[in-house]
């Protein structure tokens, strides 16, 4: 895959945001979340591991029962099966990556 500029795929929408898929393979999907204040992803458990990196803005990240204030430059990882969610307090751009467990690995 050739490099892309994430700011060029980011689209801020009124109402509900739409994640922009920037990479997908058999095990990994990477999205750019372009969130207006109050927009986000409801907390939910997912079987995939997740990592996120806040590119700009400020908001709240939910991991399990805990909630964290996050801003540009913050990074977090979440284990598969653990609850996760995000909500923007100000216009916020996040790189959100899901990684599935390897299939057929014996360790």
Answer yes or no: is pLDDT of 105 > 70: no
Please, what is the average pLDDT of the chain?
92
Confidence tier at 15 by pLDDT (50, 70, 90)? confident
What structural domains does the chain harbor?
12-99 (2.60.120.10)
Record the pTM.
0.88
Q: Region 21-47: what's the mean pLDDT?
A: 95
Angstrom distance (rounded) from CA 58 to CA 51: 17
Angstrom distance (rounded) from CA 28 to CA 35: 22
Helix (H) or strand (E) holding 35: strand 28-35
Q: What is the pLDDT of residues 68-103, one digit of tens each?
A: 999 999 999 999 999 999 999 999 999 999 999 766
Chain centre to alpha carbon of residue 87: 10
Backbone phi, then psi, for 6, in 5-degree steps? -60, -35
Helix (H) or strand (E) holding 6: helix 6-9
């Amino acid at each position: 895959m050739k490099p892309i500029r994430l700011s060029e795929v980011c689209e801020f929408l009124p109402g509900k945001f739409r994640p922009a898929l920037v990479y997908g393979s058999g095990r990994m999907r990477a999205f750019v979340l372009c969130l207006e204040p109050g927009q986000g992803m409801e907390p939910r458990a997912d079987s995939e591991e997740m990592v996120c990196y806040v590119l700009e803005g400020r908001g709240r990240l939910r991991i399990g029962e805990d909630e964290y204030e996050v801003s540009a430059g913050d990074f977090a990882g979440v284990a598969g099966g653990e609850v996760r969610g995000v909500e923007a307090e100000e216009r916020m751009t996040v790189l959100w990556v899901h990684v599935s467990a390897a299939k057929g690995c014996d360790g």
